[in-house]
Structure 1
Amino acid sequence: MDDTPQEITSLVGREVYSNNGVFVGEIEDIRLDLDAEVVNGLALGELNPDLFADYDTGRRGVIVPYRWVRAVGDVVLINDIVERLKSDDEAEHALA
């Protein structure tokens, strides 16, 4: 594994997939906590319409918390967002 530090901007344009191989979106920007000097989110655009059809993401896309990131390489793998969306949706319907 190459441990050479990379520029944060190298993440922009990479595709994001769930750990189950479902395309989620493409990284358009990075959300930083400048005080702590850490990445705390990935702003995604070009979203998978099948995943976000029931959500109003507006024109901006979504921000995925960086803690969901499992691996960074040619693509970025995150924890299974499909399961997270389903559980959030089920909880919302249970409250209705």
Structure 2
Amino acid sequence: MLKIKKLSEVVGKRVFTDAGEFFGEIEEASLVDNKVESWKIGVDRGIMSILGGARGVIVPHQFVKAIGDIFIINKSALPIREDAEDLMEEDTN
């Protein structure tokens, strides 16, 4: 289980996929019974077009692999079409 002392410590942290791609920054957390249920991530401008113009996504906490200086999330948790993954890789090169 990932433990966090203060939620304010993680807001604004950079989010990367487990494939090493920059995705965005943490904007807020959704709590249920004093436990983090999900994270709202503001996406990078280059990824907005791949997500149909969405400015952010909600990622369930179970898809967060690590929290430290950065967040690492499972790439499979992201609502990205298969054909859009090629575009995402081109943007990072």
Name the TM-score, length of structure 2 as normaliser.
Answer: 0.70
SS in 2 for 1:32: strand
Equivalences for residues 11-90 of structure 1 within 5 A: 11-33=10-32, 36-45=33-42, 47-54=43-50, 55-58=52-55, 61-81=56-76, 85-87=80-82
Structure of larger gyration radius: 1
For the 8 Å contact 1:51–1:82, the answer to whether it is kept is no
Distance 1:57 1:80 in 2: 17
The answer for unaligned runs of 5 or more in structure 1 is 90-96
SS in 2 for 1:50: helix
The answer for unaligned runs of 5 or more in structure 2 is 85-93
Distance 2:3 2:78 in 1: 33
Name the TM-score, length of structure 1 as normaliser.
Answer: 0.69
After superposition, the C-alpha distances for 1:32-63 in whole angstroms (9 at most, x for unaligned) are 11xx3210111112x123333132315xx221
Q: How many residues align?
A: 81
